[in-house]
Amino acid sequence: MTNALYIGIGPIIAVTLGVVVLLMVEVTLHPATRVWRLISFGSLISGFILAIVQWADAANNPQPIFSHMLMHDGFSAFGSIVLIIVAALGLLVAWPLVENDRARGAELVALVLLTTIGLMLLVSAANLMMVFLGLEVASISLYVIAGFIRKGARSNEAAVKYFLLGSFASAVFLYGVALVYAGTGTLEITAIAGPQFAGLTQTPVLLVGIGLIVVGLGFKVSAAPFHMWAPDVYQGSASGVTGFMNAGAKIAGFAALARILVVSFDAQRGDWGPALAVVAALSMVVGTVLAITQTDLKRMLAYSSVAHAGFIMTALVGGGAGIDALWFYVVTYAFQVVGAFGVVAAISGVASDESALKQYVGLGRRSPFLAGVLSLMMLAMAGIPLTAGFAGKFGVFRAALEAGYTWLVVLALVASAVGLYFYLRVIVRVYIDQETAEQPRVVITDGMRFALTTVAVLTVAFGVNPAPLLTVVSNALPF
Amino acid sequence: MTELVLFVLFGIGALAGAIMMVISRNPVYSALGLIAAMFSIAVLYVVNGAHFVAAVQIIVYAGAVMTLFLFVIMLIGVDQPEDTSEQLPIQRPAALALGALLLVGFLIVIGAGTLAGSDEGSVVGTVEAIADELFTNWLLPFEVTTLLLVIASVGAIVLAQFKLRDRR
């Protein structure tokens, strides 16, 4: 059916149109920043509506489109919906950064939209070449976003480090794709598992290819031991965009990993399952232990994101049965990250490249709203009941238990308990510690307040009643 | 007959370009000589029916790679005196020996008589076949690469404009 072609690519086209219109209007008319907002949010909202349409349509006739380049299914549609929401929230938080830089603001908005397009392609790709292209579109935009504040030495370091290590990871991923092609003779994700390749399942060249693909995507989602870049990059990038950078890469990276491993390489689960479990365990331990010693909130959140990459990966060790748990965790975590970095942006300025924990002393009195949101995000990341973090952790642990990885779940429980220490430490700083010096007053924009309220409400709502989201993600499976 | 004329003309062109590249003192002339040599070789590919290789030769070598060379030359500056003293004493004899080896290799191949023009229709990687694939099965990846070009230009603006304003 040709309709699926247009419905399936609708959200991507909508956001792409936003980029083109924004750049052309900016070049020719130099409009007020209000117009940038109109164009970017207009394209995101129409993309959101089209993604809902795609979701409704994909439930009835999921199918590959563009000669097996993209997949029109619930998995793609749900990923696009979440990515567009995260991009919109990220733009709201980053908006002061955009408006402060009249000369380059429109370009920053365009880059955020371009990253979103790349991430949506990554989620929807049905062909390993398409996965690579989506990865590159998203990554290259993110390298530039990381280096946006040119006058900060840390920002320059972050951009160069991200670019060099990221290109290396992309090359590793591409090498893995080439080896998979050498092993099976096809790049289509659904065809790799087809019956004609049944005899090839354990060839070394294919296993090495799978390994390199896991390494390449593991880098993008900052799983240990490929996480070295994350603290420096997330600290060095402008606070206004860090939340989006982190959340977007996590959602799409894990979605692509899940689709490739579950759809293409389910027959080799006995080989990649244990490897994934080791990476997950290492991420949880390294992320948690190193987060304890941090004195900068952005670095702490970066290490905590390494630990969360481990928790999310735990859902995948059992193969396809864990995909709904993975979706639930990654979606709720994305909102928490956007919220936490949004508060960071409000406290230490959208363009800052550091955020020392001592800036947060006495925040409870200076800004009860920000203090409340930050504390809620910390509790959710720690996995306290009645927040979305608890339901998410519960889901991934159950998926791993059902797959027989009891040791991994025990380790994850210990890591969660240790993690409580540094999450609660932030709350202690905010509410209990006494101010020694007068801190500047906190002002936040309406957009930021709206984004943070949305994130907080969603985090509590999904925590108190996870059933609606669980129903949705149980339908967001790859075709 | 046409093939022979073209071969002689552009063979001479390629040789002249190569010699100009090696002997000219000005690096810009060297680069121009290299462009001439690569372009002439591309014409030889066309004569042999390898249209796609010819197009790639023009786009990648004569286009992208040469632009990169020219950027480097411009960055270093053409007016600076070159250090022409040879660092490695073994360079010149080694170059002569390797050149002689290449010549011997060519002579052996030519002597064996296995050099033949293309038979019509025997070429697999024709422009038509590649275009067929590119604009049907691989249409979407092809379109998505345009996004990469947009990112490259937007990224260049974002990263370069700051310095520009700073200097004023």
Q: Measure CB to CB from residue B150 to each of A103, A114, A127 and give the nearest one.
A: A114
Question: Is residue A77 one of the residues assigned to a domain?
Answer: yes
The pLDDT value given to residue A59: 87
The pLDDT value given to residue B168: 40
Q: Residue A350 phi/psi, 5° resolution?
A: -65, -25
| Span between the terminal Cα atoms of chain B, in Å | 62
The pLDDT value given to residue A128: 94
Above 60 in pLDDT, residue A7? Answer: yes
The pLDDT value given to residue A453: 95
The conformation of residue B117, written as its DSSP 8-state character, comes to: P
Above 70 in pLDDT, residue B63? Answer: yes
**Inter-chain touch A114–B154, beta carbons under 8 Å:** yes
Q: Greater confidence, A30 or A198?
A: A30
Average pLDDT over residues A84-99: 93
Question: Is residue A367 one of the residues assigned to a domain?
Answer: yes
Q: Residue A125 phi/psi, 5° resolution?
A: -60, 140
The pLDDT value given to residue B79: 65
Burial of B22 (0-12, 13-18, 19+ CB in 10 A): exposed
pLDDT digits (tens, 9 = 90+) for A30-79: 888 899 999 999 999 999 999 999 999 998 888 999 889 999 999 999 99
Residue in chain B closest to A98 (alpha carbons) equals B158
The pLDDT value given to residue A119: 96
Question: Is residue A20 one of the residues assigned to a domain?
Answer: yes
Q: Greater confidence, B120 or A408?
A: A408
Which residue is it, tokens 């073994």?
Answer: B90
Question: Is residue A202 one of the residues assigned to a domain?
Answer: yes
Alpha-carbon distances of B116 from B42, B113, B122, rounded to whole Å: 18, 8, 12
Of all residues in chain A, the percent with pLDDT exceeding 90 is 67
Average pLDDT over residues A147-162: 85
> How far A72 CA sits from the closest chain B CA (Å)?
14
The pLDDT value given to residue B167: 44
Above 60 in pLDDT, residue B122? Answer: no
Mean pLDDT of chain A: 90
Question: Is residue A479 one of the residues assigned to a domain?
Answer: no
Mutate to test the interface with A, among B158, B161, B163 (most CBs of A within 10 A): B158
Assembly ipTM: 0.86
User: Quick one: which of A222, A461, A430, A432 has its CA closest to A340?
Assistant: A430
**Inter-chain touch B151–A148, beta carbons under 8 Å:** no
**Inter-chain touch A23–B147, beta carbons under 8 Å:** no
Q: Measure CB to CB from residue A111 to each of B136, B139, B154 and give the nearest one.
A: B154
pLDDT digits (tens, 9 = 90+) for A406-442: 999 999 999 999 999 999 999 998 888 877 766 777 7
The pLDDT value given to residue A165: 93
Question: Is residue A1 one of the residues assigned to a domain?
Answer: no
The conformation of residue B138, written as its DSSP 8-state character, comes to: T
Q: Measure CB to CB from residue B162 to each of A143, A150, A159 and give the nearest one.
A: A150
Q: Measure CB to CB from residue B159 to each of A118, A134, A147 and give the nearest one.
A: A147
Most confident range (mean pLDDT) of A265-269, A271-275, A350-354 is A271-275
**Domain range for A453:** 6-474
The pLDDT value given to residue A323: 92
Above 60 in pLDDT, residue B58? Answer: yes
- Say what the pTM is: 0.87
**Distance between CA B123 and CA B56 in Å, rounded?**
16
pLDDT digits (tens, 9 = 90+) for A316-366: 998 888 899 999 999 999 999 999 999 999 888 877 777 888 888 888 888
Q: Greater confidence, A263 or A350?
A: A263
Average pLDDT over residues A3-12: 90
> How far A27 CA sits from the closest chain B CA (Å)?
12
Average pLDDT over residues B142-158: 92
Confidence grade of residue A305 (pLDDT, cut at 50, 70, 90): very high
Question: Is residue A37 one of the residues assigned to a domain?
Answer: yes
Residue in chain B closest to A151 (alpha carbons) equals B162
The pLDDT value given to residue A2: 59
Question: Is residue A460 one of the residues assigned to a domain?
Answer: yes
- Our count of domains for chain A comes to 1
User: Is the minimum CB–CB distance between B144 and chain A shorter than 8 Å?
Assistant: yes
